Each structure stands twice: as structure tokens, then as C-alpha cells.
Amino acid sequence: MTNKDAYRLVLEIIAEIAPDEDLSDVKPEINLRDQLDLDSMDFLDIVMELRKKYGIEVPEEDYSHLASLNSCADYLIPKFKSVSA
């Protein structure tokens, strides 16, 4: 799995939970909340969808890793790998 793969999976989830957002130009290095209208409940939605779709658990102390697409990729790629292994 590449960073771009991880971006795509996260953006697919965001497209579901925030369907009004334009996701065509999300900058991977910039915090998602600085580019998109996302609140704390939306991040809980991301956590829930990762659990439902991919069986990935994100404990509360790790929520900060979901801040940007880059940090999501760094944090989630090992988890995707261990789930699919």
C-alpha cells in the first residue's frame, strides 16, 4: 500500500461523511480541519468507518494521527498491512 492508496481510502470515507465537501484538491500535508468543514463528530465517524470497513481500531490516544492525509497514511499503512496479513 502506498501513501496515495491510503489518501484515497481516507478520502472515500470523508466523501461519505461530509458529502458537501469538495475533495478534489485536499493537500496531504495540511490538517484536514484547516481545509474542510469537519468537526469532532466527523472524526469519530472516520474512526467508526475504519472499524466497519477495514477492521482497523484507532484508540482515542491516537486520534491526533488522523490530523492530515500524510499523518493518516503514516499511521494507517502499517495497520492496513497487519489487518490484511
Residues at the contact surface with another protein, assessed by CB under 8 A = 17-20, 37, 41-42, 44-45, 48, 51-52
Smallest separation, CB 6 to another protein (Å): 23
> 1 or 15: whose CB is closer to another protein?
15
**Cα 68 off chain centre by:** 8
Compute the distance between CA of residue 6 and CA of residue 81 in angstroms, rounded to an integer.
11
**Minimum gap (Å) between residue 20 Cβ and another protein:** 5
Which residue lies nearer to another protein by CB, 32 or 73?
32
Query: Packing angle between helix 40-54 and helix 3-17, nearest 10 degrees?
Result: 120
Cα→Cα distances 29→10, 40, 60, 70, Å? 14, 20, 22, 6
Give the nearer residue to another protein in terms of CB position, either 27 or 53. 53
